[in-house]
Amino acid sequence: MVGGGMGAFIGGVHRMAAALDGEIELVCGAFSSDPDKSKTSGANFGIQPDRCYGTFQDMIRREKRLRPDKRMQVVSIVTPNHMHYPPAKMALENGFHVICDKPLAFNMKEALALEKLVEKTGLIFALTHNYTGYPMVKQARQMIRHGELGKIRKVVVEYPQGWLSTHVEASGQKQAAWRTDPKRSGIAGAMGDIGTHAENLTEYITDLKITELCADISIFVPGRQLDDDGNVLLHFEHGAKGILHASQISAGEENNLNIRVYGEKGGLEWRQMEPNTLLVKWLDKPTQVYRTGVGALYPEAQAHTRIPAGHPEGYLEAFANIYRNVALCIRARMEGEKPNPLYTDFPTVQDGVRGMRFIERVIASGKSKSKWVGF
């Protein structure tokens, strides 16, 4: 693991997600840019002292020297955006698979370089757009792929949060500080941090690519340097249209990612904060409440469910689905087998490139006076 020392938010999430299914063991790490902190954190996580490294370079170099059956197999990168590319690149170049937090990189150039490197090395690269790990998201995708809603006409995707409603980064809050800092976050704030999740979820569920967009990007909190709110009109392939909005100043909202998709025959609605429910709406028939684990769901939804219906599965379980699938793919590869296609579904470097393009285009559109910007 690179990053994710004690006190970090997303590092802990990755560790719990990795541990849940007993498929992955945390064996080493460069948990902090400060070597002492890295060691203390590692000790706390139960890592052998000699595998708590001071830098990711050190980690990759020294792990590579270990016997193949002893060394780490996949590098998990949980640092701020500007520190995704260097360790990802080095890991790939040294033959390690990578699991990387989103967005993929600091900028488009890095993203494209990683894409090439993954193609060249043939290694596994997973991006933790974790919301696609929910069983009901997979059910939604399959229902649309199987034509149950008919041709898709309209999509509304929202990601409102309220936690940056005040100038909290000025107080030194760590999560806020780097996310609002162009040097660590890149050209976008909210649009990169959560807008890309919305974009990824939309393309995943609908299987439609965004073709152009029109964005109204704002900074509401005085003193802030990056966008904390964005409203975007979307055009998709095949004539579908949509709206995406993401916000970190929607006071009182927690993490209210949600999506509605309307086709010629029906519509569906999914809300991350109640992720085990998928509403499916029909023309002139009662709405159906699809639920994790209930009834004849698509195999893709069932394969990502762990416990019987009515026992809520949450964020960590969805996150863990990515780790579990990566682990199964790595194992299949080690054993020279084809992985079970039900478990090969996780976001890839290509999804990451889409996300970086979204950031680039949405920020460009925000500055543009013409209506539509191509994607």
Taking CB under 8 A as the criterion, which residues in 286-305 touch its own copies?
Answer: 286-291, 293-296
Residue matched to tokens 């509304």:
156
Q: Which x/- pattern, by CB under 8 A, does the window 315-334 give for its own copies?
A: xxx-----------------
Q: Which x/- pattern, by CB under 8 A, does the window 182-221 give for its own copies?
A: --------------------------------x-x-x-x-
Q: Is 285 in the site for its own copies (CB under 8 A)?
A: yes
Q: Is 312 in the site for its own copies (CB under 8 A)?
A: yes
> Smallest gap, in angstroms, from Cβ of residue 57 to its own copies?
26
Q: Is 367 in the site for its own copies (CB under 8 A)?
A: no
Q: How far apart are CA 104 and CA 352, in angstroms?
A: 5
Q: Which of residues 40-79 bind its own copies (CB under 8 A)?
A: 45-46
Specify the stretch interacting with its own copies by CB under 8 A; choose among 58-66, 92-100, 254-262, 355-363. Answer: 254-262
Q: Is 309 in the site for its own copies (CB under 8 A)?
A: yes
**Nearest 10 degrees: CA dihedral of 315, 146, 115, 364?**
-80
What six digits make up the tokens of 169? 């980064």
**Cβ atoms < 10 Å from Cβ of 251:** 12
Q: Is 370 in the site for its own copies (CB under 8 A)?
A: yes
Given the complex with its own copies, which of 309 and 334 has the nearer CB atom?
309
> Smallest gap, in angstroms, from Cβ of residue 129 to its own copies?
14
Q: Is 223 in the site for its own copies (CB under 8 A)?
A: no
Q: How far apart are CA 148 and CA 168, in angstroms?
A: 45
Given the complex with its own copies, which of 123 and 206 has the nearer CB atom?
206
Spell out the residues 6+ positions from residue 76 whose beta carbon is closer than 8 angstroms to its own.
1, 2, 4, 14, 18, 98, 99, 100
Q: Is 237 in the site for its own copies (CB under 8 A)?
A: no
291 residue type, one letter: R
Q: Which of residues 100-129 bind its own copies (CB under 8 A)?
A: none
Smallest CA-to-CA distance from 258 within 200, 318, 201 is with 201
Given the complex with its own copies, which of 165 and 350 has the nearer CB atom?
165
Q: Is 148 in the site for its own copies (CB under 8 A)?
A: no
Single out the residue of 41, 79, 161, 200 in contact with its own copies (rule: CB under 8 A). Answer: 161
194 residue type, one letter: I
Coil, helix or strand at residue 271? strand
Coil, helix or strand at residue 36? helix
Given the complex with its own copies, which of 110 and 199 has the nearer CB atom?
199
Look at strands 266-271 and 258-263 and give their pairing.
antiparallel
> Smallest gap, in angstroms, from Cβ of residue 149 to its own copies?
7
Q: Is 254 in the site for its own copies (CB under 8 A)?
A: yes
Distances (CA, A) of 355 to 90, 129, 137, 191, 314: 22, 10, 18, 10, 24
Given the complex with its own copies, which of 123 and 156 has the nearer CB atom?
156
96 close to 123: Cβ distance less than 8 angstroms: yes
Q: Is 280 in the site for its own copies (CB under 8 A)?
A: yes
HEC states along 37-51? HHHHHHHHCCCCHHH
57 close to 64: Cβ distance less than 8 angstroms: no
> Helical H runs in 20-107?
35-44, 56-65, 85-93
Given the complex with its own copies, which of 258 and 350 has the nearer CB atom?
258
Q: Is 371 in the site for its own copies (CB under 8 A)?
A: yes
Q: Is 153 in the site for its own copies (CB under 8 A)?
A: yes
Q: Is 12 in the site for its own copies (CB under 8 A)?
A: yes
